[in-house]
Structure 1
């Protein structure tokens, strides 16, 4: 090697090392800054600013509509840091990208079908987030009942016990109970606050817990023993739900793999002869066949999920 080559390699390695050190120093500084801001906000020395919201005009218009209110209710239940306007704009952008990408890879008609499926997927994503948050809350119910039982046994009122549980438990239970505690702090009744909680996170376990708390608050009685018995029952149901979910995991994967195999067959056909999908969707009979096939795949996906839905 010549001296110029060695010099070039040495300068390149030095530049890479400097870049790595610079990135490390920058990330460490940002982490220390964020920790300092959070510590100052907790002590009241600094009000931590919230995230800047985008598409405020779109959000204001959508909130006045029935669809916007429904989307807002779902987003609030999921706990996502999104506004209605941001969600709708992001969904429209994703649908356009999906249409052009699928249309360029397969055929324009398939791009239209992909956009329709993507529109369904946007709503399914919110429903999945709601279900995920509900499942997370259900898994925390045994710990929640244990905290409430210990607090009430110590002589604390039920409202105080709920506020204490909101501080001790992690999300999503901590955040949801904080909403209940805030509603109770402004004078709302216990029945209404817990009723809203059941509407946000509908489940049998939570309904039983809320009913127990409301009846004990109205008529009095041995709430501690009721909560301890409920804790044991919820622990058993939690283990049963985990076992059922493990047994049905393979079937749920099959429900996803069947449409993926259909997509793979389309790619195989298009790779065998370029333009085959364009020719197929260029005729009316081909479009009808594609729509029927997509409907059958969707029906199979729906039926498999329906059959594997076990109520415990």
Structure 2
């Protein structure tokens, strides 16, 4: 193993040796991570025994000794949580993004996925490119750290979009239940049982929180933190104000449902009106790549200097930066906040 690492450092290792070394290191790291993630049964049994002793003696014990529930914001392992706090600059923000994406906020699992993705990209670049070994490692680290965050962003946007498409129907069900004489908690529960996920799941979490002793405004605020949607904030504020001041809640929610639907219609109208500018941006942004591919196909020697000469690499980098900047400006021009 030491000889392999020396050969890799001096550049004398073969592709098979490098891949074997990476596989061995990754396997050792996974074994170490498994040992860290392995549940501590002794600690769980100790907590359970404390709860049993309290039930038999009826003597109050500190909450930290009695609780056998795994903390929702942690991984359930003290060692792993400490490692994550050291490696991650903003673990709370990551947990919040995972909740908005509809995932369990387990940073240990996210760290494991990042390591596996980074190793896969390292092997891919090693087999398909002739870059220096240090550059391949850096690219693997960049893709390993960036890909899970991009995936979280995509999942979050997809979940929020689906929530907004179903939320007005859920409010309409609440209005009908309120007009039938049901309390607001039962109306929310009925909507959660009838509407598909993610609206139904979040509404049921709110009612379950109320059942175990929570207050409705607090549970709605927790749901807002899990969703991060302005539309749900409107719903939370409307219910909070009605509980404090009173009034016709069914009429308030009906107006809110109508506002949300009109808001959605306005967004679709803006998207239709800005579709011409977006199409222009797509065409302008793709033309350089299409023309380069055509010219390279017809006359490879004409474009070979851009691919082989360092000055050509610099020119390609500047051109890609300018194209990205122009596309970003056009994107901001056609994006409107409602």
TM-score bin (small chain): 0.5 to 0.7
Q: What root-mean-square deviation, in Å, do the aligned CA atoms of Structure 1 and Structure 2 show?
A: 3.9
2:291 aligned with 1:291, yes or no? no
Equivalent residue of 1:155, what SS? coil
From 94, 108, 113, the equivalent of 1:71 is 94
> Kindly tell me: are residues 196 and 103 of structure 1, through their superposed partners in 2, closer, same or farther at Cα, counting changes over 3 Å?
farther
Q: 2:308 is matched with which residue?
A: 279
Q: In structure 1, how many angstroms separate the alpha carbons of the residues matched to 2:284 and 2:147?
A: 17
List alignment gaps of at least 5 residues for structure 1: 1-54
Q: Could you state the TM-score of these two structures normalised by the residue count of structure 1?
A: 0.65
2:328 aligned with 1:302, yes or no? yes
For residue 196 of structure 1, report the CA deviation from its aligned partner.
2.5
Answer yes or no: is the 8 Å Cα contact 1:102–1:110 preserved in 2.
Answer: no
Q: 1:130 is matched with which residue?
A: 156
1:61-119 CA deviation, whole Å, 9 max, x = no partner? 664434444333212211257841354235424643664587479xx999988996896
List alignment gaps of at least 5 residues for structure 2: 1-32, 38-74
> Kindly tell me: are residues 243 and 119 of structure 1, through their superposed partners in 2, closer, same or farther at Cα, counting changes over 3 Å?
farther
For residue 167 of structure 1, report the CA deviation from its aligned partner.
1.0
From 253, 262, 267, the equivalent of 1:236 is 262
> Kindly tell me: are residues 195 and 252 of structure 1, through their superposed partners in 2, closer, same or farther at Cα, counting changes over 3 Å?
farther
Q: In structure 2, how many angstroms separate the alpha carbons of the residues matched to 1:95 and 1:267?
A: 26
From 203, 213, 224, the equivalent of 2:229 is 203
Alignment of 1:213-228 (within 5 A): 213-228=239-254
For residue 243 of structure 1, report the CA deviation from its aligned partner.
2.6
1:124-173 CA deviation, whole Å, 9 max, x = no partner? 44323322222221222211211111222223222222222111111121
